[in-house]
Amino acid sequence: MSEEQQAHANLVVPAFRTEEEPKTQTQTQNGHGTVWRFGGSDKAAKASTVTLRGVIYMLFDNCSKDVKKTILPLGHGDPSVYPCFRTCIDAEDAVVDVLRSGKGNSYGPGAGILPARRAVADYLNRDLPSKLTPDDIFLTAGCNQGIEIVFESLARPNANILLPRPGFPHYDARAAYSGLEIRKFDLLPNQEWEIDLQGVEAIADENTVALVVINPNNPCGNVYSHDHLRKVAETARKLGIMVITDEVYDQTIFGDNPFVPMGKFASIVPVMTLGGISKGWVVPGWKIGWIALNDPEGVLESTKVVQSIKQNLDITPDPSTIIQAALPTILEKADKKFFAKKNKILRHNVDLVCDRLKDIPCVVCPKKPESCTYLLTKLELSLLENIKDDTDFCVKLAREENLVFLPGKPIEIKIHMNLVI
């Protein structure tokens, strides 16, 4: 890492970068004639080509001291670095209390400690017709580990999985790592970023295992309607596949469309809900998330998916017991005022940026986001001179203005740019 990169190490989004192919080094001879018989494995080489970190670092590298402007890092997705988004005091107190009590010092069971699993079930049950029990909940080290565990549990030879485009790159990385074949369906920009369900049916086959929904949607910033989610469930049922829904942004909504959990449709199709407190409570560093199995008919049990999840959890590290033990208080005291304040700031920022963008004809916001922390914009290349594509534009912005935005390429949307709000 360069000095510049180090200074911004905390401002970086989760992992896209094409690293050079690591050289497989099975035998290296040193000066004393010893033959080293070890070398780095390339198991993660393919998967790690889909991470955001590299792009952001590359853009920071293009920023310059000669440009007499402070670096504005607006490509990263971690609002916790800004004091105005500091998490609520109740959540902090909950962690401090557990720490001081000495009750968070032990190992926990693979699935997570019971009070925490019960608290997650209660938290999710507020909006669900068929209720979850603590047995339906598995705690993970952030929502990302939920993705990893679920993919490992579904990865059988020849299996394929349907992912949204644009999307969240960690899904691509982990599907590749687990050996799941990736098939992409489109989100439709002219239909409120709804899922192209005809496209889903066209790409699914007898080896398809699941469809991934991200709702509220990162990076598009929409919130899906009840009707659309019901159609998604019906399509999945017709295809005989489950729905994996990523609801990590359930508390980051500042538009008018209400959030509907996919679990509502579990009587139609089995639903695995991924969530966590990273985004809602703005504490991604606390590393706690969950997998919830919305499956009243017991399909995930009879197909042995539950068994596989438990086995995978048994061989992976658990989230810190301190945070697990604090989770019931964090969720029960879910501070409505804190969420309201946070979402008000986000809405204000979106309004402000959209307003200013009206004066910049080459950067267009096709749809105002109503959730999450990005504003997806389209570049009008015809109005720009000497700009090849979105990456080229972002590199030149970094070089000439010390302004860092995320190009659309890593999230698979052409000629777009993502601004952090």
Give the type of residue at 123: Y
User: Shortest distance, CB of residue 246 to ligand PLP, whole angstroms?
Assistant: 5
Binding residue for ligand PLP (CB under 6 A) from 284, 407, 408, 410?
284
Question: Is the CB of residue 378 less than 8 Å from the CB of residue 416?
Answer: yes
Question: Is the CB of residue 241 less than 8 Å from the CB of residue 208?
Answer: yes
Question: Is the CB of residue 272 less than 8 Å from the CB of residue 122?
Answer: no
**Contact between 211 and ligand PLP per CB under 6 A:** no
**Angle, nearest 10°, between helix axes 321-332 and 89-101?**
140
For residue 245, list its beta bridge partners: 213, 273
Give the type of residue at 201: E
Which 3 state secondary structure label does DSSP give 50? coil
User: Shortest distance, CB of residue 362 to ligand PLP, whole angstroms?
Assistant: 27
CA distance to 202, 281, 375, 395, per residue, from 399 (Å): 43, 34, 22, 6
CB nearer to ligand PLP: pick between 248 and 269: 248
Question: Is the CB of residue 407 less than 8 Å from the CB of residue 378?
Answer: no
**Contact between 144 and ligand PLP per CB under 6 A:** yes
**Contact between 418 and ligand PLP per CB under 6 A:** no
For residue 363, list its beta bridge partners: 379
User: Shortest distance, CB of residue 74 to ligand PLP, whole angstroms?
Assistant: 16
**Contact between 51 and ligand PLP per CB under 6 A:** no
**Contact between 142 and ligand PLP per CB under 6 A:** yes
Could you tell me which residues come within 8 angstroms of residue 380 by beta carbon, excluding any fewer than 6 positions away? 361, 362, 363, 364
**C-alpha to C-alpha distance for 338 and 343, rounded to whole angstroms:** 9
CB nearer to ligand PLP: pick between 338 and 393: 338
Question: Is the CB of residue 217 less than 8 Å from the CB of residue 411?
Answer: no
**Contact between 278 and ligand PLP per CB under 6 A:** yes
Contacting range for ligand PLP; rule: CB under 6 A; set: 28-36, 110-118, 120-128, 275-283: 275-283
**C-alpha to C-alpha distance for 404 and 60, rounded to whole angstroms:** 7
CB nearer to ligand PLP: pick between 278 and 391: 278
**Contact between 391 and ligand PLP per CB under 6 A:** no
Binding residue for ligand PLP (CB under 6 A) from 148, 246, 318, 390?
246
**C-alpha to C-alpha distance for 354 and 346, rounded to whole angstroms:** 12
**Contact between 168 and ligand PLP per CB under 6 A:** yes
User: Shortest distance, CB of residue 143 to ligand PLP, whole angstroms?
Assistant: 3
CB nearer to ligand PLP: pick between 289 and 395: 289
**Contact between 143 and ligand PLP per CB under 6 A:** yes
**Contact between 194 and ligand PLP per CB under 6 A:** no
CB nearer to ligand PLP: pick between 121 and 173: 173
**Contact between 276 and ligand PLP per CB under 6 A:** yes
Contacting range for ligand PLP; rule: CB under 6 A; set: 138-146, 153-161, 298-306, 381-389: 138-146
Mask of contacts with ligand PLP, 247-266, x by CB under 6 A?
-x------------------
User: Shortest distance, CB of residue 358 to ligand PLP, whole angstroms?
Assistant: 28
How many residues make contact with ligand PLP (CB under 6 A)? 13
User: Shortest distance, CB of residue 170 to ligand PLP, whole angstroms?
Assistant: 6
CB nearer to ligand PLP: pick between 112 and 284: 284
Evaluated on CA atoms 331, 150, 292, 258, the torsion sign reads positive
Q: How many CB atoms lie within 10 A of CB 339?
A: 18
Token digits of residue 200: 């889903």
Binding residue for ligand PLP (CB under 6 A) from 94, 195, 214, 330?
214
C-beta nearest to ligand PLP: residue: 142
Judged by CB under 6 A, the chain residues 96 through 115 that form the site for ligand PLP are: none
- Nearest CA-CA partner of 174 in 211, 144, 200, 208: 144
**Contact between 374 and ligand PLP per CB under 6 A:** no
Judged by CB under 6 A, the chain residues 295 through 334 that form the site for ligand PLP are: none
Contacting range for ligand PLP; rule: CB under 6 A; set: 79-87, 102-110, 276-284, 342-350: 276-284
Q: How many CB atoms lie within 10 A of CB 84?
A: 9
Question: Is the CB of residue 55 less than 8 Å from the CB of residue 91?
Answer: no
Question: Is the CB of residue 421 less than 8 Å from the CB of residue 349?
Answer: yes
Token digits of residue 46: 């393919």
**Contact between 377 and ligand PLP per CB under 6 A:** no
- Segment (H or E) for 144: helix 142-154
- Nearest CA-CA partner of 369 in 170, 220, 245: 220
Q: Which residues bind ligand PLP (CB under 6 A)?
A: 142-144, 168, 214, 218, 246, 248, 276, 278-279, 284, 289
